[in-house]
Structure 1
């Protein structure tokens, strides 16, 4: 997902935000917070990125899907798997097409990680949900898996679930 959709979504959001006049997005406003959060995500400061995206969600308006996707990704990278899965699930429920698939990738990845840490039925439920999310994302938007990482993760899930 990072190689294709993250930069594309970030670029689209940046283009829209940078085209706004300064009165709509002042230097201390949304655009600055977005840039700070995005830079934190790109430089491995995942907790800082998560906090910034959480603040952005409060006033994101029509940019909410992009912000929520980046927020869920920051949470995932910060090993906040439960929160990442919840944010991605919320986004996936409201989207279609590639945006839904991108959210499903984050959801599936987070749930896979959760499933490997939870014992018994709870862990299996996470693993099944992760497999369903990744299966849909791969079927609907195969170009998200340019390098095969999602297919490999799904194969691990299939093996963990016995089929």
Structure 2
């Protein structure tokens, strides 16, 4: 799209400053219209994703572990259409997880949840930071675990 705009602008400047048109400018009027079609666009950039978590005996006794700012991404869009944040469960050491997005809280019990996100057409981007609270399974043992949730943005 930028290339098409640049080409249109170059053509406009070439025609405008053409010696033939400059000579004819005294007797003729030249009108040139330029229009552009901007296609809908949504992009997602992951800025941080926790790769693993360490579960201690104290976490097990408490029954849960909290992980703050575990998923951080930026969404850019030129449309006012909403999108979905899709979370897929990949681990089995927890029974459920609370996913916290600002003041909103979602519970992931099943294998997948899709969270409706409104969009205001934010070209500059919107940063999303997700916090998690994993309620541990009674069979969980202390140790290091791979990150158990896959996050995607869907339109």
- Using the size of structure 1 for normalisation, the TM-score is 0.21
- Using the size of structure 2 for normalisation, the TM-score is 0.22
Larger RCO, structure (CA 8 Å, separation 6 or more): 2
Question: Is the strand fraction higher in 1 or 2?
Answer: 2
Question: Is the helix fraction higher in 1 or 2?
Answer: 1
